[in-house]
Amino acid sequence: MKMDSRLVLALDETDGEKALRIAESVGDIVDAIKINWPLVLSEGPQMITRLSELSEVICDFKVADIPNTVRLIVENSVSRGASAIIVHAFAGDDSLRAAVEASGDAEVYAVTEMSHPGGRMFTAPNAEDMARLGVECGVDGFIAPATRPDRIAAIREVIGDLKILSPGVGAQGGKASDAISAGATYAIVGRAIYGAEDPRAAARAFAEDIRTVL
Protein backbone atom coordinates (compact mmCIF):
# COMPACT_ATOMS: atom_id res chain seq x y z
CA MET A 1 0.00 0.00 0.00
CA LYS A 2 1.27 3.45 -0.84
CA MET A 3 2.43 5.84 1.90
CA ASP A 4 1.72 9.32 0.68
CA SER A 5 -0.90 11.28 2.63
CA ARG A 6 -0.82 8.65 5.43
CA LEU A 7 -4.57 9.12 5.61
CA VAL A 8 -7.08 6.27 5.31
CA LEU A 9 -10.83 6.76 4.96
CA ALA A 10 -13.02 4.34 6.95
CA LEU A 11 -15.98 4.27 4.58
CA ASP A 12 -18.62 3.01 7.02
CA GLU A 13 -21.44 3.80 4.64
CA THR A 14 -23.85 1.06 3.59
CA ASP A 15 -25.44 2.85 0.65
CA GLY A 16 -23.47 1.85 -2.43
CA GLU A 17 -24.09 4.97 -4.51
CA LYS A 18 -23.19 7.27 -1.63
CA ALA A 19 -20.08 5.21 -0.91
CA LEU A 20 -18.90 5.45 -4.51
CA ARG A 21 -19.60 9.17 -4.66
CA ILE A 22 -17.53 9.79 -1.53
CA ALA A 23 -14.74 7.50 -2.77
CA GLU A 24 -14.63 9.41 -6.04
CA SER A 25 -14.34 12.74 -4.25
CA VAL A 26 -11.46 11.75 -1.93
CA GLY A 27 -9.75 8.92 -3.84
CA ASP A 28 -6.77 11.07 -4.84
CA ILE A 29 -6.28 12.46 -1.32
CA VAL A 30 -6.36 9.35 0.88
CA ASP A 31 -3.88 6.47 0.62
CA ALA A 32 -6.64 3.90 0.94
CA ILE A 33 -10.31 3.35 1.68
CA LYS A 34 -11.23 0.88 4.40
CA ILE A 35 -14.53 -0.98 4.10
CA ASN A 36 -16.26 -3.51 6.32
CA TRP A 37 -18.81 -6.33 6.00
CA PRO A 38 -21.93 -4.15 6.29
CA LEU A 39 -21.20 -2.63 2.87
CA VAL A 40 -20.61 -6.08 1.35
CA LEU A 41 -23.86 -7.34 2.89
CA SER A 42 -25.88 -4.39 1.63
CA GLU A 43 -24.33 -3.93 -1.82
CA GLY A 44 -22.45 -7.15 -2.62
CA PRO A 45 -18.77 -8.06 -2.89
CA GLN A 46 -18.55 -6.22 -6.24
CA MET A 47 -18.11 -3.07 -4.13
CA ILE A 48 -14.53 -4.17 -3.41
CA THR A 49 -13.73 -4.04 -7.12
CA ARG A 50 -15.62 -0.83 -7.86
CA LEU A 51 -13.92 0.99 -4.99
CA SER A 52 -10.51 -0.43 -5.95
CA GLU A 53 -10.81 1.52 -9.22
CA LEU A 54 -10.95 4.74 -7.18
CA SER A 55 -8.46 4.02 -4.39
CA GLU A 56 -6.55 1.22 -2.73
CA VAL A 57 -9.02 -0.81 -0.66
CA ILE A 58 -8.51 -2.30 2.81
CA CYS A 59 -11.03 -5.01 3.65
CA ASP A 60 -11.56 -4.57 7.37
CA PHE A 61 -13.14 -7.99 7.70
CA LYS A 62 -11.67 -8.76 11.15
CA VAL A 63 -11.30 -12.35 10.06
CA ALA A 64 -11.21 -14.78 13.00
CA ASP A 65 -11.71 -18.30 11.78
CA ILE A 66 -9.95 -21.58 11.05
CA PRO A 67 -7.02 -21.39 8.60
CA ASN A 68 -8.90 -22.74 5.58
CA THR A 69 -11.77 -20.26 5.94
CA VAL A 70 -9.27 -17.43 6.47
CA ARG A 71 -7.52 -18.46 3.26
CA LEU A 72 -10.77 -18.44 1.25
CA ILE A 73 -11.80 -15.01 2.57
CA VAL A 74 -8.39 -13.46 1.89
CA GLU A 75 -8.03 -15.02 -1.58
CA ASN A 76 -11.44 -13.84 -2.70
CA SER A 77 -10.97 -10.31 -1.32
CA VAL A 78 -7.59 -9.95 -3.01
CA SER A 79 -8.85 -11.36 -6.31
CA ARG A 80 -11.62 -8.73 -6.20
CA GLY A 81 -9.05 -5.95 -5.86
CA ALA A 82 -8.29 -5.51 -2.15
CA SER A 83 -4.83 -4.11 -1.38
CA ALA A 84 -4.97 -5.19 2.26
CA ILE A 85 -7.10 -7.19 4.67
CA ILE A 86 -7.51 -6.96 8.43
CA VAL A 87 -7.54 -10.14 10.54
CA HIS A 88 -7.74 -10.90 14.26
CA ALA A 89 -4.49 -12.08 15.86
CA PHE A 90 -6.77 -13.76 18.38
CA ALA A 91 -7.38 -16.62 15.92
CA GLY A 92 -3.78 -17.76 16.45
CA ASP A 93 -0.61 -18.48 14.53
CA ASP A 94 -1.95 -20.94 11.95
CA SER A 95 -4.78 -18.60 10.97
CA LEU A 96 -2.40 -15.63 10.72
CA ARG A 97 -0.02 -17.64 8.54
CA ALA A 98 -2.92 -18.72 6.33
CA ALA A 99 -3.83 -15.05 5.82
CA VAL A 100 -0.26 -14.06 4.98
CA GLU A 101 0.17 -16.95 2.53
CA ALA A 102 -3.14 -16.27 0.80
CA SER A 103 -2.58 -12.51 0.52
CA GLY A 104 0.02 -12.60 -2.25
CA ASP A 105 1.08 -9.01 -2.97
CA ALA A 106 -1.66 -7.60 -0.75
CA GLU A 107 -0.96 -6.70 2.87
CA VAL A 108 -2.27 -8.25 6.07
CA TYR A 109 -2.91 -6.17 9.20
CA ALA A 110 -3.60 -7.81 12.53
CA VAL A 111 -5.88 -6.58 15.30
CA THR A 112 -4.21 -7.17 18.66
CA GLU A 113 -6.59 -5.18 20.83
CA MET A 114 -10.05 -3.75 20.43
CA SER A 115 -10.60 -0.30 21.87
CA HIS A 116 -14.35 -0.38 22.61
CA PRO A 117 -15.00 -1.03 26.33
CA GLY A 118 -16.10 -4.67 25.94
CA GLY A 119 -13.37 -5.37 23.41
CA ARG A 120 -10.69 -4.61 25.95
CA MET A 121 -11.82 -7.43 28.30
CA PHE A 122 -10.15 -10.32 26.50
CA THR A 123 -7.77 -8.58 24.09
CA ALA A 124 -5.97 -6.00 26.26
CA PRO A 125 -4.19 -8.56 28.52
CA ASN A 126 -2.80 -10.32 25.42
CA ALA A 127 -2.11 -7.39 23.08
CA GLU A 128 1.70 -7.47 23.21
CA ASP A 129 1.79 -11.29 22.94
CA MET A 130 -0.50 -11.12 19.93
CA ALA A 131 1.67 -8.43 18.33
CA ARG A 132 4.78 -10.60 18.78
CA LEU A 133 2.88 -13.50 17.24
CA GLY A 134 1.87 -11.34 14.29
CA VAL A 135 5.49 -10.38 13.66
CA GLU A 136 6.53 -14.04 13.74
CA CYS A 137 3.76 -14.96 11.29
CA GLY A 138 4.80 -12.31 8.77
CA VAL A 139 1.93 -9.83 8.87
CA ASP A 140 2.59 -6.38 7.36
CA GLY A 141 1.15 -4.29 10.15
CA PHE A 142 -1.14 -3.83 13.10
CA ILE A 143 -4.13 -1.82 14.28
CA ALA A 144 -3.69 0.47 17.31
CA PRO A 145 -6.12 3.12 18.60
CA ALA A 146 -5.40 6.77 17.80
CA THR A 147 -7.18 7.70 21.03
CA ARG A 148 -4.43 5.93 23.01
CA PRO A 149 -1.02 7.14 21.75
CA ASP A 150 0.57 5.16 24.61
CA ARG A 151 -0.80 1.97 23.04
CA ILE A 152 0.56 2.97 19.61
CA ALA A 153 3.97 3.49 21.18
CA ALA A 154 3.79 0.15 23.06
CA ILE A 155 2.89 -1.80 19.91
CA ARG A 156 5.54 0.11 17.93
CA GLU A 157 8.17 -1.12 20.39
CA VAL A 158 7.20 -4.75 19.74
CA ILE A 159 6.85 -4.64 15.96
CA GLY A 160 9.87 -2.63 14.79
CA ASP A 161 9.41 -1.16 11.32
CA LEU A 162 6.09 -2.76 10.47
CA LYS A 163 3.09 -0.57 9.75
CA ILE A 164 0.48 0.69 12.22
CA LEU A 165 -3.03 1.78 11.22
CA SER A 166 -4.77 3.95 13.81
CA PRO A 167 -8.54 4.25 13.86
CA GLY A 168 -10.42 6.62 16.16
CA VAL A 169 -9.39 9.93 14.60
CA GLY A 170 -12.02 12.66 14.26
CA ALA A 171 -15.49 11.85 15.60
CA GLN A 172 -14.00 9.53 18.27
CA GLY A 173 -11.64 12.20 19.55
CA GLY A 174 -8.16 11.24 18.29
CA LYS A 175 -6.04 13.75 16.36
CA ALA A 176 -4.47 12.50 13.13
CA SER A 177 -1.12 14.23 13.61
CA ASP A 178 -0.91 12.96 17.22
CA ALA A 179 -1.40 9.38 16.03
CA ILE A 180 1.30 9.78 13.38
CA SER A 181 3.65 11.43 15.89
CA ALA A 182 3.10 8.55 18.32
CA GLY A 183 4.25 6.09 15.66
CA ALA A 184 1.27 5.32 13.46
CA THR A 185 1.88 4.84 9.75
CA TYR A 186 -1.67 5.72 8.76
CA ALA A 187 -4.41 7.64 10.56
CA ILE A 188 -7.89 6.26 9.85
CA VAL A 189 -10.74 8.77 9.73
CA GLY A 190 -14.38 7.79 9.25
CA ARG A 191 -17.46 9.88 9.90
CA ALA A 192 -15.50 13.16 10.07
CA ILE A 193 -14.83 12.70 6.35
CA TYR A 194 -17.66 10.58 4.88
CA GLY A 195 -20.27 12.33 7.02
CA ALA A 196 -18.94 15.84 6.28
CA GLU A 197 -20.88 18.24 4.09
CA ASP A 198 -17.77 18.50 1.90
CA PRO A 199 -15.87 15.19 2.24
CA ARG A 200 -13.09 16.39 -0.07
CA ALA A 201 -12.43 19.51 2.01
CA ALA A 202 -12.54 17.44 5.21
CA ALA A 203 -10.07 14.88 3.82
CA ARG A 204 -7.77 17.70 2.72
CA ALA A 205 -7.83 19.21 6.22
CA PHE A 206 -6.85 15.87 7.81
CA ALA A 207 -4.09 15.35 5.24
CA GLU A 208 -2.75 18.83 5.98
CA ASP A 209 -2.81 18.19 9.72
CA ILE A 210 -0.75 15.03 9.14
CA ARG A 211 1.69 16.87 6.86
CA THR A 212 2.65 19.17 9.75
CA VAL A 213 4.36 16.25 11.54
CA LEU A 214 5.89 14.33 8.61
* H or E element at residue 87: strand 84-88
Closer of 131 and 207 to its own copies (Cβ)? 131
Provide φ and ψ at 143, rounded to 5°: -105, 130
Under the binding rule (CB under 8 A), the answer on residue 173 touching its own copies is no
Task: Please choose, from the candidates 156, 146, 134, 198, the residue with its C-alpha nearest in 3D space to the C-alpha of residue 8.
Answer: 146
Give least dist CB 30 to its own copies, A. 20
Cβ contact 91:100 at 8 Å: no
Give least dist CB 95 to its own copies, A. 5
- Among positions 34-63, residues that touch its own copies (CB under 8 A) are 36-38, 40-42, 44-46, 61-63
Closer of 52 and 76 to its own copies (Cβ)? 76
Under the binding rule (CB under 8 A), the answer on residue 18 touching its own copies is no
Cβ contact 157:151 at 8 Å: no
Give least dist CB 133 to its own copies, A. 8
Closer of 23 and 91 to its own copies (Cβ)? 91
Under the binding rule (CB under 8 A), the answer on residue 67 touching its own copies is yes
163 is catalytic: no
Under the binding rule (CB under 8 A), the answer on residue 166 touching its own copies is no
- Report the 10 Å Cβ neighbour count for 76: 14
- Among positions 103-162, residues that touch its own copies (CB under 8 A) are 114, 116-123, 126, 129-130, 133
Under the binding rule (CB under 8 A), the answer on residue 88 touching its own copies is yes
b/e sequence 148-182, b meaning 16+ C-beta within 10 Å: bbebbebbbebbeebbbbbbbbbebebbbbbbbbb
**DSSP 3-state assignment of 58?**
strand
User: Radius of gyration of the chain from Cα atoms?
Assistant: 16
Just list the catalytic residues.
62
Positions touching its own copies (CB under 8 A) are 12, 14, 36-38, 40-42, 44-46, 61-67, 69, 72-73, 76-77, 80, 88-96, 114, 116-123, 126, 129-130, 133
